[in-house]
Amino acid sequence: MEEKIVSGVVIGATDYKESDKLISILTPTLGLIRAHMRGVKKEKAKLKFAAMPFAFCEYSLMRRGDFYTVKTATQIESLLGVSKTPETYVTASVLLEASGHAVGSQASPDVFIALLTTLKKLIYAGDDAYKLGAEFLYNELVRGGYIGEHSEFLCGTESLALIKKYIRLFESKFICKIKSADLL
């Protein structure tokens, strides 16, 4: 069995069996990986914090079959400050989903760093959440080669309309559906 230690951000989690979860972790070195976390839905589970979206942790993983199993996790930094307002939370949720689609199974330190930087700006900078989200989506579209860079990207548009515009463009180019965008 192969053991790895990786740092990453949980971008999604689904219930699995009675007390387990399957989580999607965005890492700079392995890309997007799926991992099984045993017993984290139990009331006194010690790793419950590491199985939630926005968890930024160092994970010790064991490879078993098609996906990893989390042995231990240590929190690197709390990103739960994104829930301070509905706007920041919805924007951050859109960013998690978009990051997963932008990376796929390929390692992409640039996307990982861009995600962390934008999440920290949402928490600490107090900037317009929708504008930050639109900038992130725009940059991922440019990085993916789907659109060219142009300086008028943010000119004269309300930030909510702008993020909706870039979500639609992102979904069409990456052939995906960003479910949390329905909350906008």
More confident position, 182 or 151: 182
How many other C-beta atoms can be found within 10 angstroms of the C-beta atom of residue 34? 14
Residue 152 confidence class, pLDDT cut points 50, 70, 90: low
Its pTM stands at 0.90
What rounded mean pLDDT belongs to the chain?
91
Residue 174 confidence class, pLDDT cut points 50, 70, 90: very high
> What residue ranges do the domains of the chain occupy?
3-78, 80-183
Question: What number does CATH give the domain 3-78?
Answer: 2.40.50.140
Q: Is the pLDDT of residue 165 over 70?
A: yes
Quick one: residue 153, left, alpha or beta (phi over 0 = left, psi -120 to 50 = alpha)?
alpha
pLDDT in tens, 97-144: 999 999 976 778 999 999 999 999 999 998 899 999 999 999 999 988
Strand partners, 15: 21
Q: Measured between alpha carbons, how far is 33 from 156 in angstroms, rounded to an integer?
A: 39
pLDDT in tens, 35-69: 999 999 999 999 999 999 999 999 999 997 777 99
